[in-house]
Amino acid sequence: MLNQVKGFIKNQKLFGPGDKIVVAVSGGPDSMALLHIMQELKSSWDLTLIAAHLHHGLRSQADEDLDLLREQCRAWGITLEVKHLDIASLAREDKRSLEEMGRICRYDFFAEVLQRHQAQYIATAHHQEDNAESVLLHLLRGSGIQGLRGILPINNNIVRPMLGISKAQIMEYISKNQIPYGVDYSNNDLRFTRNRIRHELIPCLREKYNPQLINTLNQLADIVRQEDDWLQDLTVGCWQEIVTEGPDRLVIAIQPFSAAHPAAQRRLVMAVCRRLTGLEGWEKKDIDSIIRLGQSPGSSHYLRLRKSLMVYKVYDQLVFTTRQRKKVAFNYPLTVPGQVYIEETGELVSCFVLPREKCGPQSRDTLLDWDRVKGALFLRSRLPGDRFAASPTSTSTKLKEYFIKNKIPWADRERIPILASDLGRIYALVGQAVDNDARVTSRTEYILVIKRERLNKTDQV
């Protein structure tokens, strides 16, 4: 079996000579066999090994298993890292199952050990039966093609050297090499879905339908994994055409997205969600709701999903971000000439008055007839009921209607400085439009010039 594992490691390019590896060890037969195999490879491959064990605080015999593991690590000269947690309490607090919370805490701990020791990989003891169980579990949950890949031989920095061997081979190896191990009787607890699949569903399917079920499911996982790799290459091409990346968000352009194949749409959405949250297990209902959001008419719609993920429909875009949108409100007095720094938006607004013949404004400047501007002036954010006339041919309308007509995103609407008087009159949306009564005409003698400059980035959608 040792040679079979060595061949699998080389074929799958899991790791190589000189690597430092964290070995996840529960103390059961699978992980103890893995630790022994890694110990056998240690000298010839020049490996550095660190065993990592998470004490879940769930079983009375867990302390005995830990003592056994400590003794064995001392005998083999392997560094052992241990962490104690109360998984039951954590699961209740986070409203998760024991299975899910245990898995999350284990991998978080393994990642801590990896970073502390500056190791390259985390090795786990998954084998063929584990892989078959995972395929069936994902199938029963209605998983897509990525769930049917089963357990990957290598996933980022997690490697599974024993994925190509069976449980029977492991037990034979344990017996032959007289490797001590503990028994986790919770693996027989049929309250857990995976245990029911292991002890009830798989034996039934083997007996009544396919004696080679484990091999068949592992073959299926291999085929699906290869086809998924091919589809992933296609998805990367779609990503480059459809998705743009910002410092705290990812944006999908709705028009080319809608024209893509439904399978490509699902994969793109899942890829975006994973990129922002690191969460693999996005459900079909989440993906479908995001796709429907992109198909919905109008704008300013949004979804609030897990892991603080927000998805906004902003006209012809779907904006994904984990940074919460904050309501912006400001009101600053403006002296002419003078300048105001708007802290809420990170912008500097400057203004001055010039005779018409000396005015050589830049294209983005906001220009007003200075003689038409009355009262004390303020720069403020929008308020309910705001109205102004945006063109010579229009009458005074609600500011909201102007924003909708000009397709100005919701977040930008709150950040546009509004030039208003103490009399409640709106003269301009700085950088956007000027009210008709304050517009520069052929009769204008003096021009109020307003410049808007972004000094630093602020949170926005």
Closest CA to 53 of 83, 28, 75, 78: 83
Q: For residue range 417-450, what is the model confidence (pLDDT) as tens digits?
A: 999 998 878 999 998 889 988 889 889 999 999 9
Q: What is the structure's pLDDT at 71?
A: 92
The rounded percent of the chain whose pLDDT value lies above 90 is 55
CB neighbour class for 143 (10 Å; exposed up to 12, middle 13-18, buried from 19) = middle
Q: Quick one: 82 and 205 in the same domain?
A: yes
Q: Quick one: 176 and 43 in the same domain?
A: yes
Q: Quick one: 137 and 156 in the same domain?
A: yes
Q: Quick one: 59 and 129 in the same domain?
A: yes
Q: Is residue 33 part of a domain?
A: yes
Q: Quick one: 67 and 137 in the same domain?
A: yes
Q: For residue range 259-302, what is the model confidence (pLDDT) as tens digits?
A: 999 999 999 999 999 888 887 767 888 999 999 999 988 776 88
Summarize the confidence of residues 247-261 as an average pLDDT: 91
Q: Is residue 292 part of a domain?
A: yes
Q: Is residue 42 part of a domain?
A: yes
Mean of the per-residue pLDDT values of the chain: 88
**Strands 20-24, 121-123: pairing kind:** parallel
Q: How many degrees, rounded to 5, is the angle at CA 328 between CA 322 and CA 331?
A: 165
Q: Quick one: 314 and 345 in the same domain?
A: no
Q: Which DSSP symbol is given to 325? A: P
Q: Quick one: 201 and 100 in the same domain?
A: yes
Number of structural domains, the chain? 3
Calpha distance 151→154 (Å, rounded):
9
Q: Is residue 187's pLDDT more than 90?
A: no
Closest CA to 315 of 346, 345, 294, 330: 294
311, 361 contact by CB (below 8 A): no
Q: Which of 296, 321, 346 is the last residue of a domain?
A: 321
Q: Quick one: 315 and 351 in the same domain?
A: no
Report for 281-285, 320-324, 372-376: range of highest mean pLDDT:
372-376
Q: Is residue 328's pLDDT more than 70?
A: yes
Q: Quick one: 131 and 191 in the same domain?
A: yes
Q: What is the CATH number of the domain that holds 91?
A: 3.40.50.620
User: Which residues lie closer than 8 Å to 143 by C-beta, 6 or more apart?
Assistant: none
Q: Quick one: 187 and 301 in the same domain?
A: no
Q: Quick one: 201 and 95 in the same domain?
A: yes
CB neighbour class for 455 (10 Å; exposed up to 12, middle 13-18, buried from 19) = exposed
114, 122 contact by CB (below 8 A): yes
Q: What is the CATH number of the domain that holds 283?
A: 3.30.465.60
Q: Which of 321, 339, 372 is the last residue of a domain?
A: 321
For residue 98, what are the domain limits? 2-220
Q: Is residue 366's pLDDT more than 50?
A: yes
Calpha distance 299→81 (Å, rounded):
52
Q: What is the structure's pLDDT at 392?
A: 61
Q: What is the structure's pLDDT at 98?
A: 83
Q: For residue range 106-133, what is the model confidence (pLDDT) as tens digits?
A: 999 999 999 999 999 999 999 999 999 9
Q: Is residue 395 part of a domain?
A: yes
Q: Quick one: 200 and 256 in the same domain?
A: no
Q: Is residue 43 part of a domain?
A: yes
Q: For residue range 157-171, what is the model confidence (pLDDT) as tens digits?
A: 999 999 999 999 999
Q: Is residue 238 part of a domain?
A: no
Q: Which of 167, 202, 220 is the last residue of a domain?
A: 220
Q: Is residue 364 part of a domain?
A: yes
Closest CA to 54 of 21, 20, 28, 72: 28
**Phi, psi for 411 (deg, rounded to 5):** -65, -35
Q: What is the structure's pLDDT at 429?
A: 92
Q: Is residue 375 part of a domain?
A: yes
Q: For residue range 51-89, what is the model confidence (pLDDT) as tens digits?
A: 999 988 777 678 888 889 999 999 999 999 999 988 888
354, 365 contact by CB (below 8 A): no
Q: What is the CATH number of the domain that holds 409?
A: 3.50.40.10
